[in-house]
Amino acid sequence: MGRHADSTALPGRILALLPQDGTPVLNRVMRALIARDGERPVPAETYFSACDDLVGMGRIGRLRGQGGQIFLVAASATETAEPSSESVEDGWAEARLMAPLQLYLEGAFRKGLDLGDGLCLVQDTSGIGPRRGQWARPDFLLVSALRFRLLPGAQIDVHAFELKTEAGGTVQAVHEALAQTRFTHFGHLVWHLPTGARSEGRLPEIASQCATHGIGLIRLRDPREPDLAEILLDPVRKATVPAIVDGFLESRLTRENRARLVRVLAETVS
């Protein structure tokens, strides 16, 4: 006799069937796996209710659009990053560069957006989401919400930032930043490139690739002075489908940041 797909056991079965490396699975595929595993179909309402519970507990993430997908979330959003294969010549490994980049995003970069009293969320997302594969993890997300003065609503912009050490500033890094714009409005490559560095000769090529793909390029010369980082290229806004952006934010933002964003949007329609 087959096992029953009761609602109490369903969350555990979803977690057991999701790939441990965080690879996303289409909802229709997951439902088929559960039906085969339990030898009976699972009602859509029951399945999506279980998914909602798991998302609320931070156990899985959800990507809306493109058929709808779910993925296993790392045990901790601040998990230790995997060792980088990049050579570090000046002692500034990528993990060490994260704090200076956050200071820059929350300081000089935010001021440059001229948001006034609008909302600006900066979150380290390097440990949230699929660990590998085609669904890249931005190192940081910045979400801004600017209220209109006369018209109802607000302008929501989502920026993704891919951080690279001196040795990591390659064409592949540009493509990583580009891949992240499938879920966001803007993509940025942040490159730690000290003055006089040996990698400085690659700057024209990297800048050209960023310009071709509409990716922003930020040069971080000295991490000890993050506010002096230079924006060499502004990104081009991508026409990303709102449902995809919404699902991406639901999967990546912390519960507190999701609540802050919801409150601001509620105020704009009140």
- CATH number of the domain that residue 240 is part of: 3.40.1350
Residues 182-209 pLDDT 10s: 889 999 999 999 999 989 999 999 999 9
* pTM reported for the whole predicted model: 0.73
Claim to verify: residue 41 and residue 100 sit in the same structural domain: no
Predicted local confidence at residue 242, as pLDDT: 87
- Judged against a pLDDT cut of 60, whether residue 152 lies above it is answered with yes
- CATH number of the domain that residue 31 is part of: 1.10.10.10
Structural domain for 45, as ranges: 10-72
- Judged against a pLDDT cut of 70, whether residue 23 lies above it is answered with yes
Claim to verify: residue 239 and residue 120 sit in the same structural domain: yes
- Judged against a pLDDT cut of 70, whether residue 60 lies above it is answered with yes
Predicted local confidence at residue 6, as pLDDT: 58
Residue range 79-84: mean pLDDT, rounded:
44
Answer yes or no: is 82 within a domain.
Answer: no
- Judged against a pLDDT cut of 50, whether residue 173 lies above it is answered with yes
Claim to verify: residue 55 and residue 180 sit in the same structural domain: no
Q: Which residues contact 16 (CB under 8 A, 6 or more apart)?
A: none
Pairwise pLDDT comparison (150 vs 90), residue with the higher score: 150
Claim to verify: residue 112 and residue 233 sit in the same structural domain: yes
Answer yes or no: is 208 within a domain.
Answer: yes
Q: Which of 72, 106, 121 is the last residue of a domain?
A: 72
Answer yes or no: is 4 within a domain.
Answer: no
Q: How far apart are CA 112 and CA 93, in angstroms?
A: 27
Q: Which residues contact 47 (CB under 8 A, 6 or more apart)?
A: 10, 27, 30, 31, 34
Predicted local confidence at residue 245, as pLDDT: 87
Answer yes or no: is 86 within a domain.
Answer: no
**Averaged confidence pLDDT in the chain:** 83
Predicted local confidence at residue 225, as pLDDT: 94
Answer yes or no: is 84 within a domain.
Answer: no
> Are 40 and 2 in contact, with CB atoms under 8 Å apart?
yes
Claim to verify: residue 64 and residue 146 sit in the same structural domain: no
Claim to verify: residue 121 and residue 234 sit in the same structural domain: yes
Claim to verify: residue 58 and residue 179 sit in the same structural domain: no
Answer yes or no: is 77 within a domain.
Answer: no
Answer yes or no: is 128 within a domain.
Answer: yes
Answer yes or no: is 151 within a domain.
Answer: yes
Claim to verify: residue 199 and residue 126 sit in the same structural domain: yes
Number of domains in the chain: 2
Claim to verify: residue 134 and residue 189 sit in the same structural domain: yes
Claim to verify: residue 28 and residue 118 sit in the same structural domain: no
Pairwise pLDDT comparison (217 vs 55), residue with the higher score: 217
Of 142, 172, 144, 174, nearest to 156 by C-alpha is 144
79 C-beta neighbours (distance < 10 Å), count: 12
Claim to verify: residue 257 and residue 224 sit in the same structural domain: yes
Nearest-5° angle of CA 166, CA 172, CA 173? 50
Of 126, 11, 8, 121, nearest to 57 by C-alpha is 11
Claim to verify: residue 121 and residue 218 sit in the same structural domain: yes
Counts of helices then strands in the chain (DSSP H, E): 9, 9
Whose tokens are 């399945």? That residue is 47
The rounded percent of the chain whose pLDDT value lies above 70 is 84
- As given in the structure block, the two tokens for residue 10 are 């369903």
Q: How far apart are CA 123 and CA 144, in angstroms?
A: 12
Predicted local confidence at residue 90, as pLDDT: 59
Residues 91-116 pLDDT 10s: 688 889 999 999 999 999 999 988 87
The rounded percent of the chain whose pLDDT value lies above 90 is 38
Q: How far apart are CA 1 and CA 219, in angstroms?
A: 63
- As given in the structure block, the two tokens for residue 155 are 């302008």
Predicted local confidence at residue 269, as pLDDT: 53
- Judged against a pLDDT cut of 50, whether residue 266 lies above it is answered with yes
Predicted local confidence at residue 41, as pLDDT: 84
